[in-house]
Amino acid sequence: MMLKIGSFIGCFLFVLTAVGQVTLLLNKVPEILDENQSIYISGDFEGWTGGQEKFKLIKKNDDYIITLPNQHQTINYKFTRGSWDTVEANLDGSPIENRTYDFGKRNDTIRIDVLGWSSKETKVSTAENNVSVLYNKLIIPQLNRARRIWIYLPPDYENTTESYPVLYMHDGQNVFDALTSYAGEWGVDEALNKLYNEKGFKLIVVAIDNDGEKRLNEYSPWENLKYGNPEGSAYAEFIVNTLKPQIDKTYRTLSNRKNSAIMGSSMGGLISFYVGLKYSQVFSKVGVFSPSFWYSKRSFEFATEQHGINDLKMYFLVGTKEGANMVSNVNKMTRIMKSNGFNENNISKKIVEDAGHNEQFWRSEFEEAILWLFRK
């Protein structure tokens, strides 16, 4: 519960001087919290890392406080005790939706109650039986890092000799399993099993975990002065030159571009957009959910430089409650593409009233998007 209060909050608050900054004050914290345990704020503005030292709240008597400078956008966030295993939750330990804040005031202060904390004991796996971890630590040679990779196989995979199209997705922690998710899961496995049973729709899904602290960097090929060096081009090369060849070698895939798709949300939507255009000879279908075009204006210039990829299908999705400029940025991007020779029939744009920036929204729209992308 959030309640905006007046300017008086005692001597525990920081002096507010910057335009548009917000001070968040936790005045109710569950008793299960060890008094020596730290609390962090984590969200899309810092890559959903689960807890960085620079975003640790300061304890003042019984209150926990942090002041965030103007982000020039709506932020989505949650509080943790240092990792997603201990993210805030309802009283019964069940997940809560992302908190949001729109920097629309000169200075603002919000009091917040945290009802409970999640733990490994209260979280259970929701992944279907045809989901597995393919690699716990697959080396990304382009970035000198390792990453967990998940795979979903169609229900009939073991009983046929059939080959299947493949969808690549980002933020793998959130794709299949509530146990590993930090903001809710997409339920892609449940959705595809349902489509298999109802329509005979078959698809392999490969989901790549994000890095946490380096998520923002890996998911953008363009620089943002606030968030550091871009690593999106190297991450894209990993997908195209390392991961996809390995998947095609190991599994019965339809490896041609006609049967290859990529999809993601938020920063994952941004990198999917980039990969789809940069490697249109590899992918023919792109799901661009709630894309973070705000991260770099270079994304619009990049789209302007592309011409006439007539057979590239792109599905854009955005909600009206996702924050400043999200809808207008998607409108701008689709206008640019259509004016630069992209086939209008291959660009779908869906704007959903009252939808926010969260996994619940993306989960609800996945089925429609995937059927449109693979429609013959």
- In this predicted structure, what is the pLDDT of residue 124? 83
Backbone phi and psi for residue 203, each to the nearest 5 degrees, phi listed first: -160, 135
Average pLDDT of the residues in 111-133: 88
336-375: burial string, b at 16+ Cβ within 10 Å, e else: bbeeeebeeebbbbbebeebbbbbbbbbebbbebbeebbe
Average pLDDT of the residues in 6-21: 45
Question: Band of the pLDDT at 218, cuts 50, 70, 90?
Answer: very high
- In this predicted structure, what is the pLDDT of residue 326? 92
Q: At what angle do helices 188-199 and 359-373 cross, to 10 degrees?
A: 40
Residue type, 66: I
Give the bridge partners for 253, in sequence order.
164
Q: Which of 50-54, 206-210, 333-337 is least confident?
A: 50-54
- In this predicted structure, what is the pLDDT of residue 315? 98
* Entry pTM: 0.86
CATH of 131-373, one of 3.40.50.1820, 3.40.50.720, 3.40.190.10, 3.50.50.60: 3.40.50.1820
Q: Which of 170-184, 233-247, 358-372 is least confident?
A: 170-184
Q: What is the pLDDT of residues 38-78, one digit of tens each?
A: 999 999 888 888 999 999 999 888 889 999 988 767 888 99
What residue ranges do the domains of the chain occupy? 2-117, 131-373
Burial class (CB in 10 A: 0-12, 13-18, 19+), 250: exposed
How far is 183 from 188, CA to CA, in rounded Å?
Answer: 15
Q: Which residues contact 336 (CB under 8 A, 6 or more apart)?
A: 300, 303, 304
Give the bridge partners for 40, in sequence order.
56, 80
- Strand order through the sheet with 99-102: 40-43, 74-80, 99-102
Cα separations in angstroms, 234 against 55, 231, 240: 27, 5, 10
Third-level CATH fold of 2-117: Immunoglobulin-like (2.60.40)
